[in-house]
Structure 1
Amino acid sequence: MKQICLFITFVLLTSAAVAQAPFVTTWGVAGHGNQLLIRFETEYGEGGNYTIDFGDGTILTNQSGVASHTYEAPGTYTVTVSGNFDRFLLEEDYETLLKSVEQWGDTEWTSMEGMFKGCSNLVINATDVPNLSKVTSMKEMFYGCASLAIIPNLGEWDVSNVTNLAGMFNRATSFNQPLDTWDVSKVTTMGRMFTYASSFNQPLEAWNVSNVVNMEAMFLQATSFNQPLNAWDVSKVTNMSNMFSDGIFSTTNRTVKFNQSLDAWDVSNVTDMSYMFCGAKFNQSIEAWDVSNVLTMKGMFYESKFNHPIAPWDVSNVTDMSNMFYRADFNQPIGAWDVSNVIDMSGMFSEATDFSQPLNSWNVSNVTNMAGMFKRTSSFNHPINAWDVSNVTEMGYMFSEATNFNQPLNAWDVSNVTNMYSMFYYAINFNQPLDNWDFTNAATSVFTFVMYSGLNVINYDLLLERFSELDMPTGLNFNAHGLFYCNQEARDYLINTLGWNMVRDYLSLTCNSISGSVFYDVDANGCTTEDLVADVFFVNLDNGISNFRQSVANGMYSIPTRDENYTVSLVNVPEYFTVSPEAIEVDFTSTIDEIVNFCITSSQVVNDLSITLLPITEGRPGYEATYKLVVKNLGTQSMDNITATLTFDEAMQSFVVASAKTETTTSNSLEFSITALNPFESWETSITMQTFTPPIVNGGDVLSFTAMVLPNTDDYTPNDNTFNLEQIVVNSRDPNDKQVLQGETIVMEQTGEYLDYLIRFQNTGSASAVNIRVEDELHENLDWSTLSITNASHEYQVEVTNGNEVDFIFNGIYLSAESQNEQESHGFIAYKIKPKTTVEVGDTMSGNASIYFDYNAPIITNTVTTEVVGVLGVEEHVLSSLVTVYPNPIDGEIHLEMNDEVELISIKLYNMQGRLLLETKENTNYIKTDQLSSGVYMLSLETNKGQLVKRVVKK
């Protein structure tokens, strides 16, 4: 009996000794219909005969491959697995359900590859150590395990047989645990091992990496890592691309902290160093590196702080240096490099603003791509004319915004280049002849080839001549914005014979010119310098095909011309003036400079005053707003004792101050006295108003103003003695904008009157803007012959080309930067122009403006649109004879007298912006206007005989 008991005891002990410790995990079951799928396999396939306890009382035995179970309710469950398996795999879409590993068990694992990939909620609580003796791959084991911070006893893991650690902690953003005790001597690939492991910063220098061949992106975006690695034996590594990279598309530049010595590294077998230090803070000496086997250095120091000597490097096998020093701090001599095998140098020094080293001895004969090579390399200005670029096909943006570069390139053979788009765009100092270049293969890409470059008249003329000599295609657009020419013959050939569209280049002032004076002969004894200057007119040059107009400034003008015959005349001259000479023919084929002086006399006595109110700033609730009131004498004689009044809505604004003395001030009006104005003379005053705060004034409200000038007795054009402005209140502002003061609509009856445009600009840069050009392309429905300048903030010149291209030029004004003097950083130009007489109801007039501050790219304003509407109808001749409206101007009431045949249906009163102010359907013979402020209004009468529209003026 005793022997039997001993035998049973032995069996039980033996059974306990061999019992398997299970693999235990927890799962947060939710979704998927409360279903859980788990896969276990063996090294040789799905295997089988494992038992799984799902933690809710369900135990499945003899399982193989995928085990499936549906829980009765969501919740956290402990799953225990034992039996015959050595691999654990996650089913797709179930990764985030795994919450923890509670026990590794005694399974002899054969692979950990992708074991927990994507398990963003995983933590490991297991204190035992997994059996890894048969594991060779841990590739992406914890990929994306963002919650994984600590793995108990991780340092005791036996990874001595592992060969693949690629991506093991990739995107394990919380992980930061020592690994220096690991035996990684058999590992061959560590690519992306710590990519985006942004918390990891543990010592690794003790690792034996002598067998590793791939370290690609090993520490990419491992932003905290900054540990010594100089003792590593990297002699077998072939791929170090992106190894310490911040990521080429990183939006947080230079966040990778790594900056440790690597000068002892043997990199002699490395072939790929692309983007190795991209965006990194690394700045250590690596001059001694043997890079003789490297094939690509693409982006190697992209946006990095590296700036140490690397002149001794043997780069003779490198084929790709594109973006190598893009936006880097690098500025070291590399002129002795053997780059004879390089094919791609695109963007190599782009935006490397400090780089300025000689490169003329480089053999670039195999390079095919130099696109953007020196783009924004603002310091570089060294000779490179000796380069053999005969195999290059891409040169787009090569020197774009390389603001210091100005070296000869006339020896270059560019016959194989197919792309020169924006090659010298904004290379503002580049001024070299290119007249021996062969552009035939790049012809379709020359659109902005030299736009805003520094080419002077001579070199631009040579370029035009070269274009005309070559077999260039027809119908090209060529934008040479900012350049000036004299070679009109070559340019005309491109336009007239080849059909090119030449954009925004200008005839130079240093070619032929016509100049002279414009005076008004007040005393009728001939024009002298003692007479009045006439600055309100334009001088027009017409060659029979096109014309060009320039404003008169201080009684003088000077216009560059071509070698053609021109008819020279003054335009925009009212009929009550006489001009001598009326027009004159000038032949520039036999002369260089011509002087034509114009003398203006009056043919009758005319009184003609005008008034305009300009909104210089926006109306914003709670802020002050600035306006400019402008009065002009457009008549033939001096006007004395002039009164200008401005009425405003006292419920919306209050008066603060005016630059001119006010004669009378009330709660809703201002009155100014002007002693006298000579013909063509202007008077102006700046007015500051306080706009009330909400809830009195809110965004979208309208600030109404009416300006009037007296005397208006016998005024030649009484319509412009009154000006109405309705300014919409805004809550934010755009300092560069375009406005049409008449608003979005005008009625057909207003199409014979001027539209007032205001273009405002502000220098929001960090330095004064010396020159400003405002370009405004007039809409086809605007009559450019009626263009007249109302006012401007600074001295200006106006040029009109091709009938509708208007340039307002402010040269040498040194407009303050906003940061230096906000008040002085603003400017504006105001002009008026009439619609064409052919416009009809439904037609629109729209447009924006381009504002250029020095050599910067233009600021494009908003687009303003004014539509001709028929809301007020058309006055019928017959109906007009049956209805009388009086008095006009009115004081208090409008009286209506109608023939017995006419039955009044409705009365509507609109302001000049088309806004309905009053409506009644009563059959009445008068309308009270006490509530109306002074101004011009449109009265619409709907009758049984049709509609009648009358313009009425409220005093």
Structure 2
Amino acid sequence: MKQFYAVLLFFFISICQGQIVDIPNENLKWNLLNHAPVIDLNYDGEIQLSEAQAATTLKLSNNFVEDYTSLSAFSNVTWLEIYGSYLTGMDFSIFPMLSHLDCHDNDLTSLDLSALANLTWLDCSRNALTSLDVSANSQLLILNCSTNAIDNLDVSMLFSLSTLKAYQNGMTTLIANGLTHLESVECFENDLSSLDLTGAQDLNYLDCGYNLLTSLTIQNPASLSVLKCPHNQLNSFDAAPFTSLTLLSCPSNGLTSVNVLGLTNLQTLAIGGNNLGTVDLSTLSNLIYLNVYDAQLTSLDLSNLVNLQTLMCSVNPLGSLNFSNCTQLKDINCFSNQLTQLDVSALPLLESLSCGDNQLITLHLNNNPLLYSLNCWGNQLTSLDLSANPYIRSADCSANLFETLDFSYTTTALGGSSSFKFSDNPNLEFVNLKNGLYSPFVNIANLNCPNLAYVCASEQNLGTLQSQFSAVPNVMVGTYCSFAPGGLYNTIQGTVHVDLAQDGCSETDPVFADLKLTITDGTNNGAYFTNADGTYTFNTGAGSFTVAPVLENNYFTFSGDQTVVFPAADSSTQNRNFCLSPNGIHYDPEITITPIDAARPGFDATYLITYKNIGNQTMSGSVSFTYDDSVLDLVSADISPDSQSTGMLSWNYANLAPFESRDIYVKLNVNSPVEIPAVNNDDLLNFTASISVAAGDAETPENNVFQFPQTVVGSYDPNDKTCVEGSLISQQMVGDYLHYVIRFQNSGTFYAQNVVVRDVIDATKYDISTLRPIAASHTHETRITDNVVEFIFENIMLPAEQDDEPGSHGFVSFKIKTKPNLVIGNSVSNSADIFFDYNFPIVTEPAVTTVSNLGVSDHVDASVSIFPNPVKNKVTVTADSAITSLELYDVQGRLIGISIASGTEAQMDLSTQAQGVYFLKVKTDKGSSTQKIIRQ
């Protein structure tokens, strides 16, 4: 018999173990089979009854399953998570052993907990419950029923409860007395008019804000460390018994007094939005955060708050604030008071300052290097120095009396974009946003700055800011408020010396002025021309750069380290000096004429003769200048000529060092229309300058003669650009240098501190790499970025026309080669922008020069040879075929001489022609050939 019962028992157990739980919902079944911790212990893809009964934890959140009845087999579960599943109802009695239930974020309208006697932890927050009965759950330790619609809640029977969260219910009654283990209560945002927490001797945390409480009854206030009771109806509050408080927040009540004396542990105090008038903070030496916003305070003594880091005291009638002992302050908001002065010099840790809507007339921030946010809106400030505040990324300086605002010192980004506001400043004329950071946000809506004339921008932000201010009339956006990049940058600098003695460069060797140096990082290219003292400067960001001298010829070699590496943009400086050594022996002078004035009938005109040694040997010789004496009278020359004849002036020169340049100014008077011979508008005046070398023949004779045909005008724009070669050049001059002069005059009413001439070169028609400066009226810098050349006259102090008419003028001249692929009929056109300080640029009329033909030819005879060239008297021409004629043209393409010839050799006498450049067109039986010749 015993054996029979044993077999029967074994059979029964086997049936139970093999029974499979029916789970019709596929989603639920999948979650159970993939549950952690594992429920499907034998991994057979089914849940046996024994496996269900062995499970103690179910985590089925966010499954969106409507029917959970098949979970009744999990009768031994003690931990259940089923939140975020849109449950509207569920029978939890199937889990009689449950101690932990988390069903928050569902749509439960009711919750029956009567069968869950073992429940210790319950979160049913964020549902649609209108009531909650926990009378059968006396073991509860944690209860969270917040964000429901529970009107009345009685938890007085939960004697073990330590944490209660019942906020955001609209609750009118909460019975929670007698709970001796209660430590934390959050019942804010309800409609409670009373709160009885007697018996809660260990209460540590209470948040009962946003109710209708008129009083608080706490049995053991000394145990409370956090008390939040904002937005109630308390009239007075004595916090002195709450000796353990670290945080007290009771703003926006009806408080007329608050006593916080003796709260030595208090670190956070918020009592704004009351009608206090005054408050004694003298014992709060550990206070870190203080908010007395809109507390009707007439005075505020902060002298003992030595650890204070944040002060919010806006919207009070405070007339003064003393921060001298609050050296730890980081954030101050004293907006909308009656402050006439604010001293923050003792606050080196200050990061944020909002002091708008006061009556401040000065604000000094030179001792606040960490400041990143500033709001000084609505004061009477006339100046603001931010030079010691590199971290500022947000500033509102609106509604003040500023004339200038300079944000260029805010050079260190802390992440995010920068934002600047300066509207409603009636006196504001200038804003500097050139800080080197990308894309600052500028609020120009309702700008109301009627006198704003100039906004300075970093180069990378110029287009963005020009677009932003395009709708604001009379506001110029540019980069020329300074001539270095904004923000943090690095500097490459050096000096170029010439080792004429070939014994190694030293500081005593001569320097190379106007030498072109290029810089590239592999993508971006630039150039700078050395100053008169041989120095140069490049400003860069981080990266690897190559710097190298670029010579106009091969007369020198150079040595020096060309590579510069900057790991970061951090105001670093690296020096790169270069040494140039002669390469062979080369005599090569160059001479040019620059018209300083337009030629007008009856008026004086000044001409600048510039001669330069572009060879590598010291030279001596003579310079001559010829002009038509019949229509031009010599007025003066700043250097007396060594010899003079009709229409010719000559000067001797000596010891002209390599790269040295010298100038001679000659003033001539142009005949008027009533003189004989008369000079009228559109007449042509011809000038020639030449230079000779006493030591021997010059290397490139075409540099030794310069011809200038000048058209007479009746009136002219003092800000203009002129091509010295004129409006026409021959095909043979394509690929050679064209010479330009840009003239400017300060016609304003005050001196111009800075003048910038900006010229955008058409890279399709000019070779930007060949640009070389020639002369200028004042000391300046020349720099090139891509195809833009800038002549920067910093601190020129150019007088106004009304104060000094002769001194109000200036000029700069340069030469540049055209591209060699220009053909007859092509034109090169170029204008310049002239910036006087912060005014809109004056844009010159384009200087247009067209490639013209010296005559029609049907075939080029390549056999033609011309010699000597340069020539002093007769030039000889040979060809393989019979020569029929020789035609001589000036640089304007005008026919000035013709000679009929025959045979394969012919001559033309040029002895009666002025020194200069000409074109000789040779016609033969087989075609023609036009070549440039130089008359010495």
Give ranges in structure 1 of 5+ residues lacking alignment.
1-358, 362-379, 389-401, 415-422, 468-478, 496-501
The aligned residue for residue 673 of structure 1 is 652
* Letter paired with 1:675: A
User: Cα distance 1:665–1:562, how it changes in 2: closer, same or farther (>3 A)?
Assistant: same
The aligned residue for residue 619 of structure 2 is 639
User: Cα distance 1:480–1:811, how it changes in 2: closer, same or farther (>3 A)?
Assistant: same
- SS of aligned partner of 2:748: coil
The aligned residue for residue 42 of structure 2 is none
Are residue 786 (structure 1) and residue 786 (structure 2) matched?
no
RMSD across aligned C-alpha pairs, in angstroms?
A: 4.4
* Letter paired with 1:617: D
* Letter paired with 1:705: F
The aligned residue for residue 245 of structure 1 is none
Report the CA distance between 1:600 and its aligned residue: 0.6
1:655-707 deviations in Å (ceiling 9; x for gaps): 22111121111111011011220111112111111111114111111110111
User: Cα distance 1:540–1:428, how it changes in 2: closer, same or farther (>3 A)?
Assistant: farther
* Letter paired with 1:914: G
The aligned residue for residue 935 of structure 2 is 954
Q: CA contact under 8 A between 1:381 and 1:406: conserved in structure 2?
A: no
- SS of aligned partner of 1:824: helix
* C-alpha distance in 1 between matches for 2:552 and 2:563: 16
The aligned residue for residue 605 of structure 1 is 585
The aligned residue for residue 945 of structure 1 is 926
Report the CA distance between 1:824 and its aligned residue: 1.2
The aligned residue for residue 502 of structure 2 is 524
1:98-137 deviations in Å (ceiling 9; x for gaps): xxxxxxxxxxxxxxxxxxxxxxxxxxxxxxxxxxxxxxxx
Are residue 579 (structure 1) and residue 547 (structure 2) matched?
no
The aligned residue for residue 483 of structure 1 is 457
Are residue 464 (structure 1) and residue 452 (structure 2) matched?
no
* C-alpha distance in 1 between matches for 2:417 and 2:574: 38
The aligned residue for residue 242 of structure 1 is none
* Letter paired with 1:938: F
* C-alpha distance in 2 between matches for 1:861 and 1:839: 24
User: Cα distance 1:830–1:387, how it changes in 2: closer, same or farther (>3 A)?
Assistant: closer
User: Cα distance 1:632–1:876, how it changes in 2: closer, same or farther (>3 A)?
Assistant: farther
Are residue 805 (structure 1) and residue 788 (structure 2) matched?
yes
Q: CA contact under 8 A between 1:480 and 1:504: conserved in structure 2?
A: no
* C-alpha distance in 2 between matches for 1:452 and 1:521: 51
Q: CA contact under 8 A between 1:753 and 1:834: conserved in structure 2?
A: yes
The partner residue of 2:607 within 627, 634, 650 is 627
The aligned residue for residue 641 of structure 2 is 662
The 5 Å alignment of 1:756-775 reads: 756-775=739-758
Q: CA contact under 8 A between 1:894 and 1:929: conserved in structure 2?
A: yes
User: Cα distance 1:861–1:428, how it changes in 2: closer, same or farther (>3 A)?
Assistant: farther
The aligned residue for residue 37 of structure 2 is none
User: Cα distance 1:890–1:461, how it changes in 2: closer, same or farther (>3 A)?
Assistant: closer
* C-alpha distance in 1 between matches for 2:507 and 2:559: 16
* C-alpha distance in 1 between matches for 2:812 and 2:429: 24
Report the CA distance between 1:598 and its aligned residue: 0.6
The 5 Å alignment of 1:85-234 reads: none
* C-alpha distance in 2 between matches for 1:754 and 1:639: 24
Identity of aligned residues (%): 30
The aligned residue for residue 703 of structure 2 is 720
Query: TM-score by structure 1 length?
Result: 0.49
The partner residue of 1:699 within 678, 681, 688 is 681
Number of equivalences:
524
The partner residue of 1:683 within 662, 671, 676 is 662
User: Cα distance 1:413–1:533, how it changes in 2: closer, same or farther (>3 A)?
Assistant: closer
* C-alpha distance in 2 between matches for 1:928 and 1:715: 23
The aligned residue for residue 834 of structure 2 is 851
- SS of aligned partner of 1:559: strand
The aligned residue for residue 753 of structure 1 is 736
* C-alpha distance in 1 between matches for 2:463 and 2:672: 59
Q: CA contact under 8 A between 1:412 and 1:437: conserved in structure 2?
A: no
1:555-610 deviations in Å (ceiling 9; x for gaps): 11121111111111112352121111273243444982211111111121111100
User: Cα distance 1:509–1:636, how it changes in 2: closer, same or farther (>3 A)?
Assistant: farther
* Letter paired with 1:788: R
1:151-178 deviations in Å (ceiling 9; x for gaps): xxxxxxxxxxxxxxxxxxxxxxxxxxxx
Report the CA distance between 1:804 and its aligned residue: 1.1
Q: CA contact under 8 A between 2:618 and 2:658: conserved in structure 1?
A: yes
The aligned residue for residue 779 of structure 2 is 795
* C-alpha distance in 2 between matches for 1:360 and 1:731: 66
Report the CA distance between 1:843 and its aligned residue: 3.2
Report the CA distance between 1:516 and its aligned residue: 1.1
* C-alpha distance in 1 between matches for 2:784 and 2:546: 16
* C-alpha distance in 1 between matches for 2:703 and 2:858: 22
The aligned residue for residue 913 of structure 1 is 892
User: Cα distance 1:929–1:608, how it changes in 2: closer, same or farther (>3 A)?
Assistant: closer
- SS of aligned partner of 2:432: coil
Query: TM-score by structure 2 length?
Result: 0.50
* C-alpha distance in 1 between matches for 2:393 and 2:493: 38
* C-alpha distance in 2 between matches for 1:693 and 1:604: 52
- SS of aligned partner of 1:706: strand
The 5 Å alignment of 1:214-293 reads: none
- SS of aligned partner of 1:749: helix
1:740-791 deviations in Å (ceiling 9; x for gaps): 1011222232223211110111111112111111111112211111111111
- Of 713-722 and 626-635, deviating more is 713-722
* Letter paired with 2:772: S
* Letter paired with 1:853: F
User: Cα distance 1:360–1:545, how it changes in 2: closer, same or farther (>3 A)?
Assistant: farther
* C-alpha distance in 2 between matches for 1:427 and 1:903: 77
Q: CA contact under 8 A between 2:458 and 2:479: conserved in structure 1?
A: no
- SS of aligned partner of 1:507: coil
Q: CA contact under 8 A between 1:875 and 1:949: conserved in structure 2?
A: no
User: Cα distance 1:887–1:563, how it changes in 2: closer, same or farther (>3 A)?
Assistant: closer
* Letter paired with 1:832: K
Are residue 455 (structure 1) and residue 432 (structure 2) matched?
yes
* Letter paired with 1:464: S
The aligned residue for residue 546 of structure 1 is 524
User: Cα distance 1:805–1:482, how it changes in 2: closer, same or farther (>3 A)?
Assistant: farther
User: Cα distance 1:890–1:608, how it changes in 2: closer, same or farther (>3 A)?
Assistant: closer
The 5 Å alignment of 1:279-318 reads: none
Report the CA distance between 1:941 and its aligned residue: 2.4
The partner residue of 1:569 within 548, 552, 572 is 548
User: Cα distance 1:503–1:872, how it changes in 2: closer, same or farther (>3 A)?
Assistant: farther
* C-alpha distance in 2 between matches for 1:632 and 1:557: 20
* C-alpha distance in 1 between matches for 2:657 and 2:840: 41
* C-alpha distance in 2 between matches for 1:411 and 1:494: 17
Q: CA contact under 8 A between 1:540 and 1:548: conserved in structure 2?
A: yes
* C-alpha distance in 2 between matches for 1:484 and 1:709: 45
Are residue 555 (structure 1) and residue 530 (structure 2) matched?
no
The partner residue of 1:709 within 684, 691, 695 is 691
Q: CA contact under 8 A between 1:453 and 1:483: conserved in structure 2?
A: no
User: Cα distance 1:512–1:887, how it changes in 2: closer, same or farther (>3 A)?
Assistant: closer
The aligned residue for residue 596 of structure 1 is 576
1:842-894 deviations in Å (ceiling 9; x for gaps): 433211111111111111111102223343679977x242x444444344444
- SS of aligned partner of 1:871: coil
* C-alpha distance in 2 between matches for 1:649 and 1:866: 25
1:84-105 deviations in Å (ceiling 9; x for gaps): xxxxxxxxxxxxxxxxxxxxxx
* C-alpha distance in 1 between matches for 2:756 and 2:419: 34
- Look at both structures and tell me which one has the larger radius of gyration over its CA atoms: 2
